Structure 1
Amino acid sequence: MTKEAARTDVVAALLPLERLRKRPDFLRAARARRVPCPAFLLQARERAPDEAAQAIRVGFTCSKKVGNAVARNRAKRRLREIARLTLPDHGRAGWDYVLIGRPGETGQRDFAAMLDDLQRALRKLHGA
C-alpha cells in the first residue's frame, strides 16, 4: 500500500459519512463502477478533487420491486447499518457509494453475511 493510499484510509476512518440526497449525485454514481453482491448492488465513483470535501458520501435506494413500503424501509435500514459499520474502516475519502437493495434478498439475508459482502465488494472495487 502506498503512503497516499494509507493516508486516505486513515482520513476515511476519521470522517463521518455524508448522505447523498440529490438525484445528480445518484446518476453520476450509476455511470461509474458497479460491484454486484447477493443482497445489494454497490455503485461507486471517485469524486474529482475540485468537488466537495473529501468525506465519504453514501446513498441508498430500493425500488418498488423490493416490496411494499414496509419492506423497502426495512431493506434501507439494513443497508444504512452495514454502511455505517463498514465504510469508515474500508471506504475511501473522496468517494461516493450507492447501495441498491435487491428484491427478496436485502430484507432477508443474514446480517453478518451482508457485512462480509460489503467488505468483499469494497476490496474488489479498490483492488486491495
Structure 2
Amino acid sequence: MERLKKRPEFLAAARGVSRAMPGLVLQARDRGDGGPARVGFTVTRKVGNAVTRNRVRRRLREAVRLTMPPLARPGFDYVVIGRLGTIARPFDLLREDLHRALDAVHRRGPQGAGAQGARSRPARRRR
C-alpha cells in the first residue's frame, strides 16, 4: 500500500467521506484511477507532545498494515487521523475501529466514498 505525502493529497481526501470511531477518524476518497490504494496519517498536537504523537502514529501504521490490505479498494485514498483516545485504546479495539470505519465509508452511496454528493455537508477550511 502506498503512502500519501503531499498536503493537496490530504486535502483531497478530506473532501471525501469521513467516519469517526473512538480510536480514530478515517477519511476516504475515490481517485477514480483504479491505481493502488494509498494511505496517509495525521496526528495533531492536541493528542500530545512529539513522543506521544509518534507512538500514536506507529500504532495507527501497524493497525493499517494488519487490517487494511484485504479491505482497501483500488483507486482510493485514505487518511487515518489519530485521536486523544488512540494511545490508551487496546490494540485489538483499534483494529476493530479501523475495520468498522472502512466498512462504513465503502457502504456509503452506490459507488462508495467517491460518489458525488456523498458528503452531507461541505468540508470546512481550517486556518
Instruction: Indicate the TM-score class for this superposition, using the shorter chain for normalisation.
Output: 0.7 to 0.9
Q: Choose the corresponding residue for 1:70, options 26, 46, 51.
A: 51
Gaps of 5+ in 1: 1-16
Q: What fraction of aligned residue pairs are identical, expressed as a percent?
A: 53
Q: CA deviation at 1:18?
A: 0.4
2-structure distance, mates of 1:48, 1:121: 20
Q: Counterpart of 2:86 in 1: which secondary structure? A: coil
Q: Counterpart of 1:41 in 2: which secondary structure? A: strand
Q: Counterpart of 2:94 in 1: which secondary structure? A: helix
Q: Between Structure 1 and Structure 2, how many residues are aligned?
A: 108
1-structure distance, mates of 2:105, 2:44: 24
Deviation per residue, 1:59-109 (Å, 9 max, x gap): 001010000000000000011011111111111111000000112x11110
Query: How is 1:1-128 mapped onto 2 (pairs within 5 angstroms)?
Result: 17-49=1-33, 54-103=35-84, 105-127=85-107
TM-score, reference length from structure 1: 0.81
Gaps of 5+ in 2: 109-127
Q: Counterpart of 1:89 in 2: which secondary structure? A: coil
2-structure distance, mates of 1:71, 1:36: 20
